[in-house]
Amino acid sequence: MRRSTVLWAGMTATVAGIFAAACSSSGGDETDLVTARPDAGSDSAVAADTAPGIDAAPADATIDAAIADAGSRDAADAATADAGSRDAADAADAALPDATIADAGPPDVGPIDAGPPDTGPCQSVGAQVQRSCGVCGQQSALCMASDGGGIEPGAYSYCNGQRDGGCVPGTEPDGGMPCGRCGRQRAVCQTDCTYGFGSCIQPATATCTPGESVFAIGLSCPNAGEGRYGTCGNDCALTYGNCVIEDTWITASVQVGAVASRSMTLTSAQTIAAGASSGTSCAPSTSASITPYQTIVVRNPSAKNLKVSIWNSFGPSSGTSYYDTIMNVFQGETLPAVRGACLGANDTCSSTPCTSGSALGGIASSAAITVNAGESLLVYTGCWSSSCTTPTTLVLNVKTEALLP
């Protein structure tokens, strides 16, 4: 038994010696083997480290390389890490103002309900609170005890008192609103739910208002006194028709704010003593000049009495002649043979809605005249001076200011 133990110890020493010799021939001890493992990504170092007969070395080197690579920041890693940082695209996006996002779509036209109730938070159970809603409306709620022991508003009522035809504050129609002669103007809804308007930008090529009808004398017509009616299209340009004798009447609109227009031509072929320049007596003075004139009948075939402003403006064929006109308005459809009492007279019209300065006559705004339902007015337009003899086209405008009982 003792002999076997000694024999086994000798065999063990022999094997240890053989293994030590093998290690010595490989060029390094165990410590050298570990530190000589290749750097990640170095294929030549892997080949040098692989000792003949040690099958595990290549696999071990591959694993080490993967581990080493995972811990380093090579080009691919840098790209991955950069994706989570504020790169150029992020910086550009951060520079965009908030308005760019808000302008991407139409404004929200729903009820404004973002703030606290207008009357403040609930103070006691049973109290009533109010808040704004819709188009300058109000809605109310009763204060109730909440489950958490506080006080909060109950269900709010229907939105009452909204402004008819109003707008939601802060909203703005896309592209603005139409104005003037085929123009556009910016419109922004104000806190009172009405629009505030910017300047009206009109095309330079616009010469009339859509729907307007004017008459121009001549225009290559063969007979004296003939002319052509021009109708204004949606492009604010006039299209002229055939040669005709000019009509002498116009129908007032039943729509408040609407303007009906009719052209008229003043020539030396039709003259009369110039009428009065103010007051309600339109009898000409004894020293009145004999001047060109024209009369237009304003009719109201509707069932409503209409309050109307009436004024002259220059027509598209006026040329550059300077005309100073007088306007007299009479009841009926015939110019009285002896002019006397009238509904009004004026020789200047320089404020809105007049558009041609103080040279042309008009009875407008606070001086507006009533044309009764089913009745007519006769409007006389005459030159102030006898030197007014060059044929020119003027326009008579009738704007409905109000519908009366």
Residue 108 structure tokens: 């929200």
My answer on whether 313 and 181 are in the same domain is no
Contact 382, 286 (CB under 8 A): no
What was the pLDDT predicted at 318?
A: 54
Q: Which of 246, 276, 309 is the last residue of a domain?
A: 246
Q: Rounded CA gap, 58 and 50, in Å?
A: 6
User: Which residue type does 107 have?
Assistant: P
Contact 321, 266 (CB under 8 A): no
| Side-by-side strand order, sheet with 226-232 | 213-217, 226-232, 238-245
- Asked whether residue 107 is domain-assigned, the answer is no
Question: Which residues, at least 6 apart from 124, have a Cβ–Cβ distance to it below 8 Å?
Answer: 143, 151
- Asked whether residue 169 is domain-assigned, the answer is yes
What are the tens digits of pLDDT across the range 257-272?
999 988 888 888 789 9
Q: Cα–Cα distances in Å, from 169 out to 16, 112, 165, 197, 343?
A: 96, 8, 13, 14, 44
My answer on whether 253 and 344 are in the same domain is yes
**Any idea which residue has 């003939």 for tokens?**
226
Determine whether 328 is exposed, middle or buried from the number of CB atoms within 10 Å of its CB (0-12, 13-18, 19+).
buried
What was the pLDDT predicted at 245?
A: 74
* CA proximity to 317, closest of 222, 397, 207: 207
Q: Would you report the helix, strand and coil content of the chain in percent, each value rounded to 5?
A: 20, 30, 50
My answer on whether 305 and 241 are in the same domain is no
- Asked whether residue 16 is domain-assigned, the answer is no
CB hemisphere CA count around 393 (13 angstroms): 22
What are the tens digits of pLDDT across the range 208-260?
878 777 777 778 888 776 788 888 888 898 888 888 777 688 999 999 999 99
Contact 201, 186 (CB under 8 A): no
My answer on whether 374 and 261 are in the same domain is yes
My answer on whether 232 and 255 are in the same domain is no
Torsion of CA 171, 173, 174, 177, to 10 degrees: -150
My answer on whether 374 and 263 are in the same domain is yes
- Asked whether residue 235 is domain-assigned, the answer is yes
My answer on whether 255 and 388 are in the same domain is yes
My answer on whether 362 and 391 are in the same domain is yes
Structurally, the chain folds into a number of domains equal to: 4
My answer on whether 199 and 279 are in the same domain is no
Residue 9 structure tokens: 């110890």
Q: Which of 246, 272, 295 is the last residue of a domain?
A: 246
What was the pLDDT predicted at 358?
A: 66
Domain residues for 180?
165-206
What was the pLDDT predicted at 359?
A: 80
My answer on whether 293 and 317 are in the same domain is yes
Q: Which of 140, 162, 184 is the last residue of a domain?
A: 162
What was the pLDDT predicted at 110?
A: 38
According to the 3-state scheme, what is the secondary structure of 160-209?
ECCCCCCCCCCCCCCCCEEECCCEEECEEECCCCCEEECCCECCCCCCCC
- Asked whether residue 90 is domain-assigned, the answer is no
Q: Rounded CA gap, 391 and 130, in Å?
A: 66
- Asked whether residue 230 is domain-assigned, the answer is yes
Q: Rounded CA gap, 336 and 330, in Å?
A: 8
- Asked whether residue 272 is domain-assigned, the answer is yes
My answer on whether 178 and 214 are in the same domain is no
Residues of the chain with pLDDT under 50: 1-117, 320
My answer on whether 328 and 366 are in the same domain is yes
Biggest CA-to-CA distance, the chain: 169
Contact 264, 227 (CB under 8 A): no
- Asked whether residue 267 is domain-assigned, the answer is yes
